[in-house]
Amino acid sequence: MEIAPFIFSGVPDIIYGPGKIKELPEQIKKYGRRILLVTGDSSLARSGRMQMLIDHLTGSGIGYRHITIKNEPSPEIVDAAVSRFRSDGIAAVVAVGGGSVVDCGKAISAMIPVDGSVMDYLEGAGMGKAHDGRKLPFIAVPTTAGTGSEATKNAVLSRIGPLGFKKSLRHEKFVPDTAIIDPELALGTPGHITAAAGMDAFTQLLGSYVSKAASPFTDALALKGLEIVRDSLVPLCNSEPDNISLRGSMALAALFSGLALANAGLGIIHGLASPIGGYFDIPHGVICGSLAGEAIRMNISILLETGGNVALDKYARAGSLLTGADVKDIRGCCMKLIETVYGWIDELNIPRLGAYGVKEMDVEKIIDGAGYKNNPVPLTREQIRSIVINRL
């Protein structure tokens, strides 16, 4: 088999395992003894882990400034933090939280060393200036298993509303220097958040696997991640929320999804999630999970009609992996894949987009903002419209 040329880049130092948060102070000391700590506003405090984290830092002689992120990170939040802390002697930025918190910390670390607003550098929304890649050292500590932002080179920022957007600040050097993945930090996460995050990871794994830019490296990560999701997601959400082994497995699946998408790109699901997430206040994982069945069904139906290509074989292999169906039965495995995804959407109670106020009158604007360059097949406007309409 001939393997096409590819590049695989941007892997942080990865520290994985229960209790590994205790290694954070030693990682910080590589850069100095004064950090900016970025966290969410509630879950760490409710669980008591915020105080544990502070005790680890202060007990190791680490000074810190602290900001909390309540919602999706906006350019205004990033600019305000940068203005406040640029001259504060910060040696590194540490983000402990979900994907939004990690993205915010990533953007702050990238903007403190440079002049101007983050809007100057934001893809497709700002002035289009090229960032030179300078940043403060950045340590990502995810507390949810979803976006994989602890392994990606972009920070997603939003301005939500009728004229809103969801766009990336991106550079090869923005990959976190270190990712500490401690599944104990996810204990106590509500089931609906675990479900939405897990469906985000799933769509990233499958999307990067069938991407036109996939490589043997990303395929290996995606397949292993899909196997983990198969065995872990539903029981973790429904019957075993305190199972540390399952929490750890899903944390790895999310990490693999971030590494894979950063190198292979994604398709129509995330292409639609960007404008929808800009116009409406919907959790990113809910958007991806809600669209997953319709988008996968549409891609597969087109591939079956046109005679298929390598992507059809990959969809079949994914279906076989998730269900045990005979991989030689291409159509059967693809149908099993679709059936499984719809089953997860129902079992995990992933809401429809209409539950968040998306209406049929909004669909044209959403399509206008969609991107899907790495989708395995080209899609017409009418096909994209069908994907969205069927999930209202």
Quick one: pLDDT at residue 1?
60
Counting beta carbons within 10 angstroms of the beta carbon of residue 18, is it exposed (0 to 12), middle (13 to 18) or buried (19 or more)? middle
Whether the per-residue pLDDT at 12 is higher than 90: the answer is: yes
Kindly state the average pLDDT of the residues 119-138: 92
Cα dist. 376→113, 123, 259, 322, 391 in Å? 38, 23, 19, 20, 21
Torsion of CA 171, 177, 181, 186, to 10 degrees: -60
Query: Does residue 379 register a pLDDT over 90?
Result: yes
The candidate with the shortest Cα–Cα distance to 180, out of 95, 68, 73, 58, is 95
Q: How far is CA 112 from CA 98, 118, 361, in A?
A: 22, 10, 41
Question: Looking at residue 356, what is its pLDDT?
Answer: 97
Sheet with 34-40, side-by-side order of all strands: 13-16, 178-181, 138-142, 92-97, 34-40, 63-69
- Is residue 7 within 8 Å of residue 153, measured between CB atoms? no
The CATH number of domain 191-389 is 1.20.1090.10? yes
Average pLDDT rounded to a whole number, residues 173-189: 95
Chain centroid offset of residue 41 CA: 20
pLDDT in tens, 213-222: 999 999 999 9
Determine what percent of the chain is predicted with pLDDT higher than 90: 89
User: Distances from the Cα of 215 to the Cαs of 171, 226, 260, 265, 375, in angstroms?
Assistant: 21, 16, 9, 11, 14
CA dist 169 and 157 (Å) reads 8
Calculate mean pLDDT across residues 305-333: 94
Residue 242 to residue 341: CA distance in whole angstroms: 24
pLDDT exceeds cutoff 80 at 27: yes
The class that CATH gives domain 13-186 is alpha beta
Residue 156 has pLDDT above 80, yes or no: yes
Local structure of 223: helix, strand or coil: helix
pTM (predicted TM-score):
0.96
pLDDT tens by residue, 89-113: 999 999 999 999 999 999 999 999 9
Please write down the long-range contacts of 1-9, taking CB distance under 8 Å and 24 or more positions apart.
Answer: 3/215, 3/216, 4/215, 6/215, 6/216, 6/217, 6/263, 7/263, 8/215, 8/217, 8/218, 8/263, 9/172, 9/263
Beta carbons of 211 and 172 less than 8 angstroms apart = no
Neighbours of 80 (CB within 10 A): 13
Is residue 99 a contact partner of residue 142, using CB atoms and an 8 Å limit?
Answer: yes
What's residue 358's pLDDT? 97
Token digits of residue 216 = 């043997």
Dihedral angle sign, alpha carbons of residues 95, 90, 11, 111: positive
Report pLDDT digits (tens) over 236-262: 999 999 999 999 999 999 999 999 999
The residue ranges of every structural domain in the chain are 13-186, 191-389
* CA atoms of 135 and 108, how far apart (whole Å): 8
